[in-house]
Structure 1
Amino acid sequence: MPATLPAKPTRTRRATFRSAVPRRLAAVAAAAALVTAPAALVSAPLAHAASSATASPSSVAPAGRVTLAMQGCGARTARVTSTAFGEVRLETASAQTTGLSGSATVYNDANPGTHRVVFECGGPGGERVTVSLQVTPGAARGGTGGSIGSMSTVQTAVGGALAVCALAGGVWVLRRRASA
């Protein structure tokens, strides 16, 4: 009997599916790229976007600290000037951040009232944003942070009595050890 050669394998549905998978994945990836591309363009910062600035808190006493921030500037630095604190330079905190920030201390002898705070993107001659800072009459609380100013006479007396009792108890324990 003559030897017969095995039949040539026929292409099955499974083989067709395997060859179509890479094409389908490529089509899905292309569609995803088209869908996400407009979103990426919208979230990218625009060079012509208006800058915004804040001075926080917006009301402060003389010798108080003010946090200054500017968004949308597009530069690595900004200059801030005011009659309340003079001139301050804002910088980015890191390469990943887009905003500029810094702080200033209001002059001890700053006049109470509203002071203009002028932010200049990139320094003198750059885009300007002006905000208001209210300087209140009086001095900023410092040192104890206001923790003593609100204590009543009774609270102070009780605290002193507790301190005296603790001291007397310590002396009694030490004398008792010494005599034993």
Structure 2
Amino acid sequence: MRAIRVTPVALLGAAALALTAPAVTAYAATTGGPTTNGSGYTVTPSVIAPGGQVTLAARGCSTTATASSGVFDTVSIPQGGTGRATVDSDAKPGAAYEVTFTCNTSPVSTATVNLTISAATSTPTTSSTSSAVSTASPAGVQGGLGGSIDSMDSGEIVAGTALAVAAATGTVFVVRRRKENRSH
């Protein structure tokens, strides 16, 4: 009899977990966090709109490094520092470009990291009824939480799911207890 009461709650928890797993994967795929090759060479963000800026780091290099790609000019990166590059506005959306890092050590070493170009953004427009110019932000409006959080990770999503399951379990428990008390 006890197993029958637990089964719906276990199924509810499994369903909640199954429904949030694709959201975690989609969030990770679209946020464009840093791309790294495992040895300290990074491109942040890894998914960028044409005309956007990327931050390049060569933490695996003990001297000055350079980064080059087909979608931006060669950038010099100081030892332990970062460099910034502006992606060409004519970069092909959906394409992946290699960023080649060259460490100016003896012997010279190179590493590559991928950079993906996201869909093109809308161009600035002018209003025909007004002289004001409205521009479109390449990343969209960043409204909301007022800077209280940077991004969500899978741990936060799992914790939220656990709280939702706990709330559902409590609700089921209270409803069943009320029904038992009324039937006697």
TM-score range relative to shorter protein: 0.3 to 0.5
Length-normalised TM-score, structure 2: 0.44
